[in-house]
Amino acid sequence: MMTNFFDFFTGKNKHIAIVATAAPLVIFGSILAGWALANRSCKTRKPMIKRFSSKTLNLATLHGGKLAYQKLVDYHDAQVDAEALRRAETELDRLLEEEQLDFYMLQRAVAKLEMSGKEEHAVAKLEKALEKMKEENKQLEAYETDMLLVEMLIYKGDFEKANKCECLKHEEISDARRPLYKAIIHIMLDRPKGKEEAKKCWEDFMEIQRHFEWPPCSNEIQAHKVITDFNEFEREVKLLKDDIAKAHAKKTQA
């Protein structure tokens, strides 16, 4: 069964293997587009709550592609829709209980929890769901849920635990998220030779993107700056790390 699962993602099915965000990395243009869409709804604003951390926003810019764009829109819409964030936890529970998981909607749901400062809630729910999926031998669901868990653990600042997630060990799977997350984690941990490891993972990530040659949607990312330089990528990751540290400091002071 596990062999069949890996075949689904590797050379035998490379046209399917793009579970990853294989469009080029994008930044800045997405932020402007998100603000434009949010401002478009100013006339019908819903009650606002305090401004949320930008951790999701920053990691979304590192992902690139359609899902990253939607996360940016969600982030800015959240500024005017506090009720949507209050519903996020219930929404995640509902999505995890469905027979056929909607990974796209799950990604958006956990991002909303992070926006509301509840990443630890998302981690707990994902860990519980992951354990159940493993018991039921739902390998694809477990793999995708583990990827979501990696992202939430990064937001939570638990980089060591994120680095130990099973999904990051399967180098035979053509999934660009694996080297992307590993590159981010290596930079976050800031260990000796960590930069070299991060750069190697970054190069692997870029190679997967080039291999699949997934064209960006011109309607969504035509104005974006493409990140192709490791040093620029490293700077963006460090900004994300700063946001995570600031968010933790605020929680400690509260």
- Residue 178 CA to residue 77 CA, distance in Å, equals 29
Q: Are 69 and 100 in contact (CB under 8 A)?
A: no
Q: How far is CA 190 from CA 60, 66, 184, 186, 234, in A?
A: 21, 30, 10, 6, 11
For residue 94, the model assigns a pLDDT of: 95
For residue 202, the model assigns a pLDDT of: 93
Tens-level pLDDT at each residue, the chain (254 residues)? 433 333 433 444 443 333 334 333 333 333 333 333 333 344 444 443 333 445 554 555 555 444 544 554 555 555 546 677 778 889 999 999 998 999 888 988 888 888 788 889 999 999 999 999 999 999 999 999 999 999 999 989 999 999 999 999 988 888 888 999 999 999 999 999 999 999 999 999 888 888 765 444 444 444 345 577 899 889 888 988 988 898 888 877 76
- Degrees, nearest 5: CA angle 75-111-134: 165
Residue 217: Cβ within 10 Å count: 12
3-state helix, strand, coil in the chain (%, to 5): 70, 0, 30
For residue 189, the model assigns a pLDDT of: 97
Structure tokens at 159: 């980089």
For residue 55, the model assigns a pLDDT of: 56
For residue 77, the model assigns a pLDDT of: 55
- Residue 228 CA to residue 207 CA, distance in Å, equals 11
Query: What is the secondary structure of 59-96 as a DSSP string?
Result: HHHHH-HHHHHHHHHHHHHHTT-HHHHHTHHHHHHHHH
For residue 116, the 8-state DSSP code is T
pLDDT single digits (tens) 155-164: 899 999 999 9
Residue 51: Cβ within 10 Å count: 8
For residue 173, the model assigns a pLDDT of: 83
Amino acid (1-letter code) at residue 118: K
Structure tokens at 187: 């930079």
- Residue 249 CA to residue 228 CA, distance in Å, equals 32
For residue 11, the model assigns a pLDDT of: 41
Structure tokens at 204: 């692997």
pLDDT single digits (tens) 121-159: 999 999 999 999 999 999 999 999 999 999 999 989 999
- Degrees, nearest 5: CA angle 24-115-23: 10
